[in-house]
């Protein structure tokens, strides 16, 4: 079990000296899942995805770009700039433990970034885009990843701004990439997914609970540091629930009533798991909470995306 946690990049995993396992741990595969799902949601929201081999391979390439490559780049560069914090919170991680050199980490950062951008360029060529929209999204997301982790801006120093940047990167960006690849990304959908990303802000707060000790020592103003563990857990739950309920209102407005009912039914178990795990002890039960509640969040995203793809009112 500890070996699996190590490979997925979850806290509490076993240590290893295998260079490829270390590289994979830096990329934190557990964090790829929302990005892969976001691409699926974007393709569904385009209303133009058809089941054939060409589209399947293109969507798979878009997932590789969004997950292993650009999210892997994001996680690696975050560990690179967080090595002082990790030396306090997670000293067994690859960089603070000395298991991998900084030079090797820098090489990994550049390889993942350049591969991700190459995939984006290839996807634009496949889609026949006159303007390389997927490449622009990849460049924009990579820039956000850099300024989130690196000084002097280091957005993660600000709990609200940093967590929203993370939430938007996990929900809006892959959705936009999937929708731009198979259809046309509209301003209406872009704004809706940015609003949906406020639910992602609540998810991002959960990642801050395990880093409270190091954040306090190094002066990072994460929400658990600013508001305390208990208040931050209520903020996290509130952001997730309120903005999903806002999407229920949007679905009702565009006439997608069945989808709105399904979304409500998916929100109910989320609230239940928040009460069982998140609100009682987020430090102890953060992984259990995400494992139990996150599937309902991402299923709700897909329901919303399919409804948007079938609505003529919103694709303008």
Confidence of residue 213 (pLDDT cuts 50, 70, 90): confident
> In which residue are the tokens 């990329």 written?
27
Can you give the pLDDT at residue 188?
A: 87
User: Strand runs (DSSP E) across the chain, as ranges?
Assistant: none
pLDDT at 316 over 60: no
pLDDT at 121 over 60: yes
pLDDT at 186 over 90: no
Can you give the pLDDT at residue 1?
A: 53
- For 257, residues 6+ apart whose C-beta sits below 8 A from its C-beta are 251
Confidence of residue 9 (pLDDT cuts 50, 70, 90): low
Q: How many CA atoms, within 13 angstroms, populate the side-chain half-sphere of residue 173? A: 29
Residue 173, judged by CB atoms within 10 A of its CB (0-12, 13-18, 19+), counts as: buried
215 vs 71, more confident: 71
Can you give the pLDDT at residue 314?
A: 61
66-70 average pLDDT score:
97
Tokens read off for 37:
């799902």
191-197 average pLDDT score:
91
218-223 average pLDDT score:
85
pLDDT at 7 over 70: no
Q: Tell me the sheet residues that pair with 158.
A: 221
- Residue 73, SS3 per DSSP: helix
Tokens read off for 312:
């003529």
Tokens read off for 311:
């609505």
290-308 average pLDDT score:
91
Q: How far, in Å, CA of 124 to CA of 119, rounded? A: 9
Contact in structure between 124 and 65 (CB atoms under 8 Å): no
pLDDT at 161 over 60: yes
pLDDT per residue as tens digits for the range 13-49: 566 788 999 999 999 998 898 899 999 999 999 989 9
pLDDT at 109 over 60: yes
CA distances to 81, 189, 246, 307 from 183, in Å = 37, 12, 25, 15
Highest mean pLDDT of the ranges 156-165, 238-247, 277-286: 238-247
73-97 average pLDDT score:
92
Terminal Cα distance for the chain, rounded:
48
Can you give the pLDDT at residue 156?
A: 86
Q: How far, in Å, CA of 43 to CA of 49, rounded? A: 6
DSSP 313: T
Of 177, 172, 190, the residue nearest 119 (C-alpha): 177
Domain ranges of the chain: 2-309
> In which residue are the tokens 């959960």 written?
206
Can you give the pLDDT at residue 157?
A: 86
Lowest model confidence (mean pLDDT) among 191-195, 234-238, 264-268, 312-316: 312-316
282-295 average pLDDT score:
88
Q: Can you give the three-state secondary structure of 104-160, one letter per residue?
A: HHHHHHHHHHHHHHHHHHHHHHHHCCCCCHHHHHHHHHHHHHHHHHCCCCCHHHEHH
Peptide bond connecting 152 to the previous residue in cis, omega within 30 degrees of 0: yes
Q: Element (H or E) spanning 297, and its range? A: helix 282-309
75-103 average pLDDT score:
93
**Whole-number mean pLDDT of the chain?**
91
> In which residue are the tokens 């919303």 written?
304
Can you give the pLDDT at residue 315?
A: 54
Q: How far, in Å, CA of 5 to CA of 148, rounded? A: 25
Can you give the pLDDT at residue 98?
A: 94
> In which residue are the tokens 């600013």 written?
226
213-218 average pLDDT score:
83
Can you give the pLDDT at residue 206?
A: 87
213-239 average pLDDT score:
90
- For 206, residues 6+ apart whose C-beta sits below 8 A from its C-beta are 236, 278, 282, 286, 289, 290
Cα 89 from chain centre? 22
Q: How far, in Å, CA of 243 to CA of 79, rounded? A: 30
């Amino acid at each position: 079990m500890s070996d699996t946690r190590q490979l997925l990049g979850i806290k509490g995993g076993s240590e290893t000296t295998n260079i490829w396992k270390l590289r994979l741990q830096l990329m934190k595969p557990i964090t790829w899942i929302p990005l892969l799902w976001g691409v699926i949601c974007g393709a569904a929201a385009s209303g133009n995805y058809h089941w054939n081999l060409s589209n399947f391979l293109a969507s798979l390439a878009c997932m590789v770009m969004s997950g292993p490559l650009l999210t892997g780049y994001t996680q690696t560069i975050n560990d690179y700039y967080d090595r002082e914090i990790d030396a306090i919170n997670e000293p067994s991680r690859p960089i603070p433990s000395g298991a991998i050199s900084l030079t090797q980490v820098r090489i990994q950062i550049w390889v993942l970034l350049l591969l991700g951008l190459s995939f984006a360029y290839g996807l634009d060529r496949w889609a026949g885009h006159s303007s390389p929209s997927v490449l622009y999204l990849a460049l924009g997301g990579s820039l956000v990843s850099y300024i989130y982790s690196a000084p002097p801006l280091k957005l993660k120093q600000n709990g609200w701004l940093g967590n929203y940047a993370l939430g938007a990167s996990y929900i809006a960006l892959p959705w936009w990439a999937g929708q731009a690849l198979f259809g046309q990304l509209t301003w209406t959908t872009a704004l809706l997914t940015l609003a949906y990303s406020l639910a992602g802000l609540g998810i991002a707060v959960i990642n801050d609970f395990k880093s409270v000790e190091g954040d306090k020592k190094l002066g990072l103003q994460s929400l658990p540091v600013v508001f305390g563990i208990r208040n931050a857990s209520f903020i996290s739950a509130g952001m997730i629930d309120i903005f999903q309920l806002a999407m229920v209102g949007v679905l009702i407005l565009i006439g997608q009533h069945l989808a709105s009912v399904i979304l409500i039914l998916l929100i109910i178990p989320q609230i239940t798991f928040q009460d069982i795990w998140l609100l009682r002890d987020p430090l102890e039960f953060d992984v259990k909470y995400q494992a139990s509640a996150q599937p309902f969040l991402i299923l709700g995203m897909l329901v919303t995306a399919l409804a948007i793809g079938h609505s003529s009112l919103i694709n303008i």
